[in-house]
Chain A
């Protein structure tokens, strides 16, 4: 079993998203380790991009702060190498196609394997374009994680059948960000997913409270939370590790209950 799959063997998975380098890479490392200590099952590490078109204002701002601080893809690989000395938690990157393309797909995936990354999420790489990176991902054993959206009608089975790692189910229309209510008919989406793959699926976009996480994980295999965590980082900056740790614990406890 690869490491990504292992994330879902601990009951419902809790998956925090953290933008690397916001406010600095040292804090990112501490936040990751706190999240692991408090029950996170898989870590989604964001490589910042200048123009993150799938993100809402909270994560856009985090990307800007990180880039202003001088973060680069190479520095992030060093961070991963450093984190890997202390934990074997499954970790995947979340970034945009151009970050990988400009680095060179071969060089990027090779560095992913060498530093200990397990997977890659690219929100601007739909099913039709995945051949751009999939062969190289396979070569270096990096899971290329697919997304399914509320508007994926007629495409769910096709995407699910070729899924690897886990499936990222987008809860709502629009960009990332916290939402008071999620109204998509996720049950029917997940039913089609289950009929077509045994790969686990986690729901993300708009989840910020333990109640929402419990509800979302209840119908899937896990919950992904980004903006709510980034807000803590924005507020507490380099003092955020303990706050994020506490938040992660409350979320994981809700998923266990």
Chain B
């Protein structure tokens, strides 16, 4: 599926400074060497199962299904993973790979803090140094995760440049990588950036769809009719879609953060409002102005607050294999509250975007149809900001 040098159709590529070229070439060679190595695979599986708590549950949401009165809804519970989100899948893979490459230091960007916490966790486990770059705005929105990262032994660097959010954290981590390469691995958190990152991250996250497939066959004896996941950079969605790409009867639906609406400037819905561009090492779709200046995007969810989308998603969109739909703050907050009250599961505000669309779609589908929604993370981190959204001030 990946063309030479990490192309997905016209998307992808390696648009990075010359200073980093040998580093990504070295990474690609190491990944090619280890990805099918039985010892590496066994070690990673051990970490997934014994440390992260995989496989994650595929839970039949009976009350929700009955309440909506349409298709059966299954929740892929990535929120139950160690550190509370799907991010740990990719991080354990990359940290193990970095260790094999002789790297002693991990650097990472983070938006909501979930990837930063996961990276700090893996670094603690493997005895590596860790520095996490986080937009100053996000350090305020997600103070608890900042504390967790420091508790785990990581240094957290607040990024003040640009809009002081996720995209600036990515830029700053890239800058840091160009200044210190020999002992440092950039543990990129999504299916984005220069090749080979979109492929590596997708492969490590594809455990999600591999498990869904097996679990679905056990529970229902067939494939689902639709798989729905939220998309910022798009790692949990890519992981949820990957093993279904060849199963053309399975609808793949990515839910983008529309913020206050795709007809406003306060949105982060890249497919709905962006156009093709080259940024952060890849060709893909980006929110930008007519001169290619990257737009300051907005979403209530710090994890989806990114002006681009991974190149493989861009390609799945171009080919029509996957659909991408915008979901607003308000819709996501309603879904956040709904799942909490209906199933006793507090989902991450990111995952609530996927949930919201699933609620709409389920009603339109017959009762013998099946939808899988990936709950990419748990919502504890979001309680304070959702309360604030509803006009309630709770002290974190």
Name A's B-contacting residues (CB within 8 A): 49-51, 53-54, 56-57, 60, 64, 67, 72-74, 96-103, 123-129, 132, 146-155, 159, 170, 173-175
- Contact check, B162 vs A50: say whether CB atoms are below 8 A apart: yes
- CB pair A67 B293 closer than 8 Å: yes
Inter-chain contacts of A146 with B (CB < 8 A): 18
Give the size of the chain B interface in residues (CB under 8 angstroms). Answer: 38
Q: A60-B161, A128-B5 are in contact. Are A173 and B180 (CB under 8 A)?
A: yes
Task: List B281-305 residues whose CB lies under 8 Å from chain A.
Answer: 281, 283, 286, 288, 290-294
Does residue B17 face the partner (Cβ distance < 8 Å to A)?
Answer: yes
CB contacts (< 8 Å) of B69 on chain A: these are: none
Chain B contacts of A148 at CB under 8 A?
A: 18
List 9 additional contacts besides A60-B161, A98-B279, A132-B278; criterion CB under 8 Å. Answer: A51-B162, A51-B280, A54-B175, A56-B175, A97-B278, A102-B277, A123-B18, A124-B278, A126-B14
Residues of A contacting B18 in the complex (Cβ-Cβ under 8 angstroms): 123, 126-127, 146-149, 151-152, 155, 159, 170
B-side contacts of A155, CB under 8 Å: 18, 21-22
Q: Does B13 contact A (CB under 8 A)?
A: yes
Q: What's the Cα separation between A98 and B308 when bound, in Å?
A: 13
What chain B residues lie within 8 Å of A151 (beta carbons)?
Answer: 18-23, 181
- CB-CB contacts of B138-155 with A at 8 A, as 1s and 0s? 000000000000000000
* Chain A hits for B292, CB < 8 A: 49, 73, 98-103
Neighbour of A97 across the interface among B15, B175, B179, CB < 8 A: B15
> Is the beta-carbon distance between B17 and A124 smaller than 8 angstroms?
yes
Residues of B within 8 A of A154 (CB): 22
Asked if B174 is an interface residue, CB under 8 A from chain A, the answer is: yes
11 contacts between A and B (CB under 8 A): A60-B161, A98-B278, A98-B294, A102-B291, A102-B292, A146-B18, A150-B19, A155-B22, A159-B18, A170-B18, A175-B179
Distance, CA A159 to CA B17, complexed state (A) = 13
B171 neighbours in A (Cβ, 8 Å): 51, 53
Residues of A within 8 A of B281 (CB): 124
Residues of A within 8 A of B276 (CB): 101
Residue of B nearest to A153 (CB): B22
Query: What CA separation (Å) do A146 and B277 show in the bound complex?
Result: 21
Q: Which applies to chain B's interface (DSSP): helix, strand, loop or mixed?
A: mixed
Q: Are A126 and B291 in contact (CB under 8 A)?
A: no
Chain B stretch 198-251: residues in CB contact (< 8 A) with chain A = none
A124 and B15 in contact, given A97-B278, A98-B288, A175-B175 (Cβ under 8 angstroms): yes
Across the interface, B19 reaches (CB within 8 A) one of A64, A67, A74, A149, namely A149
Q: A103-B291, A149-B17 are in contact. Are A174 and B179 (CB under 8 A)?
A: yes
A53-B280, A67-B293, A103-B291 known; A173-B178 Cβ under 8 A: yes
* Interface flag for B382 (CB, 8 Å): no
Asked if B345 is an interface residue, CB under 8 A from chain A, the answer is no
* Chain A residue nearest in CB terms to B19: A149
Rounded to whole Å, the gap between the CB of A164 and the closest CB of chain B is 16
> What is the distance, in angstroms, from B66's C-beta to the closest C-beta of chain A?
48
Closest to A101 in B: B278
Instruction: Name B290's closest neighbour in chain A (CB-CB).
Output: A102
B16 within 8 A of A: yes
**B23 CB contacts on chain A under 8 angstroms:** 151
Q: Is B312 an interface residue when CB atoms closer than 8 A count as contact?
A: no
Q: Which residue of B lies closest to A74 (CB)?
A: B291
Closest 7 CB pairs of A and B: A102-B292, A174-B179, A149-B19, A97-B278, A98-B292, A50-B293, A149-B18
Q: Assess whether B17 is in contact with A123, with CB atoms less than 8 Å apart.
A: yes
A240 to chain B, nearest CB (A): 23
Q: How far is the CB of B207 from chain A (nearest CB, A)?
A: 30
Chain B 153-170 residues near chain A, CB threshold 8 A: 161-162, 167-168
Write the nearest CB–CB distance from B338 to chain A, whole angstroms: 37
For B13, list chain A residues within 8 Å (CB).
Answer: 129
| Set A56, A60, A72, A126: member contacting B17, Cβ < 8 A | A126
Could you say which of B181, B278, B288 has the most chain A C-beta atoms within 10 Å of its C-beta? B278
Q: A102-B288, A173-B178 are in contact. Are A129 and B17 (CB under 8 A)?
A: no
B residues in contact with A173, CB < 8 Å: 19, 178-181
Cα A149 to Cα B174 with chains together (Å): 15
Q: Contact between B19 and A51 (Cβ–Cβ < 8 Å)?
A: no
Q: How far is the CA of A146 from the CA of B18 in the complex (A)?
A: 9
Cβ contact within 8 Å between A50 and B294: yes
Q: Distance in Å from the Cβ of A202 to the closest Cβ of chain B?
A: 15
- How far, in whole Å, are A67 and B292 apart by their CA atoms in the complex? 12
- The answer to whether A99 and B17 have CB atoms under 8 Å apart is no
Give residues of chain B (257-283) contacting chain A, Cβ–Cβ below 8 Å: 275-281, 283
Across-interface contacts of B20 in A (CB, < 8 A):
151
B277 near A98 with CB under 8 A, answer: yes
Would you give the shortest CB distance from B37 to chain A, in whole angstroms? 25
Most chain A C-beta atoms within 10 Å of own C-beta, residue among B22, B162, B178, B283:
B178
The reply to whether B178 and A175 form a contact with Cβ atoms under 8 Å apart is: yes
CA distance A57 to B26 in the complex (A): 29
How far, in angstroms, from A148 to B18 measured CA to CA in the complex? 6
Please judge, given known A-B contacts A98-B292, A124-B17, whether A152 and B286 are in contact too, CB under 8 Å: no
The answer on a CB contact under 8 Å between B277 and A72 is: no
Q: Indicate whether A49 sits within 8 Å of B179 (C-beta atoms), given known contacts A101-B278, A151-B19, A155-B21.
A: no
Which B residue sits closest to A95, measured CB to CB?
A: B292
